[in-house]
């Protein structure tokens, strides 16, 4: 009987520990800000009720350049000035090479 309890405690402990470590690693791996980790374009914030409920500290993002979708850490946002013709954001311009 005690073996089962011990096994559950050890296994459960490992499981919880692994979940905590994975969360911490996941958190530090996630890029900060609003840039796409694939193509470095500015991503759009999308509504994702599940993720926003589970992890309100994260930003569910969607990249309209490459279609990447995922979570980003909240960080400094890239100022949006799509109306200006300064050419500061070549990734936003409609030079599609597809
Ligand atoms: Zn992208």
What would the pLDDT profile of 13-62 be if each residue is shown by its tens digit?
999 999 999 888 877 877 788 888 889 889 998 888 887 787 777 888 99
Other Cβ atoms less than 10 A from the Cβ of 31: the count is 16
First to last CA, the chain: 64
Question: Distance, CA 1 to ligand 1 centroid (Å)?
Answer: 53
Q: What is the DSSP string of 60-75?
A: EEE-TTT--EEEEE--
**DSSP assignment letter at 30:** S
Instruction: Let me know the angle formed at the C-alpha of 24 by 21 and 30, rounded to the nearest 5 degrees.
Output: 135
pLDDT band at 4 (very low <50, low <70, confident <90, very high): very high
What is the predicted pLDDT for the residue at 29? 78
* 83 has a pLDDT exceeding 80: no
Average pLDDT, the chain: 80
- Taking Cα atoms as reference points, which of 80, 69, 79, 66 lies closest to residue 47? 69
CA of 3 to the centre of ligand 1 (A): 50
Q: Where in 1-98 does DSSP place strands (E)?
A: 44-45, 58-62, 69-73
Q: Please report the pLDDT score of residue 98 as a whole number.
A: 54
Between the CA of 52 and the centroid of ligand 1 the distance, in Å, is 21
Tokens of 52: 């926003």
CA of 29 from ligand 1 middle (Å) equals 17
């Amino acid at each position: 009987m005690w073996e089962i309890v011990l096994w559950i405690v050890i296994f459960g402990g490992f499981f919880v520990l692994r979940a905590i470590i994975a969360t911490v690693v996941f958190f530090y791996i996630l890029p900060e800000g609003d840039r796409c980790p694939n193509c470095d374009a500015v991503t759009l914030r999308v509504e994702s009720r599940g993720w926003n409920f589970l992890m309100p500290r994260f930003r569910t993002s969607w990249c309209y350049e490459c279609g990447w979708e995922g979570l980003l850490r909240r960080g400094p946002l890239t100022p949006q000035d799509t109306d200006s013709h300064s050419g500061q954001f070549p990734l936003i311009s409609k030079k599609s090479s597809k």
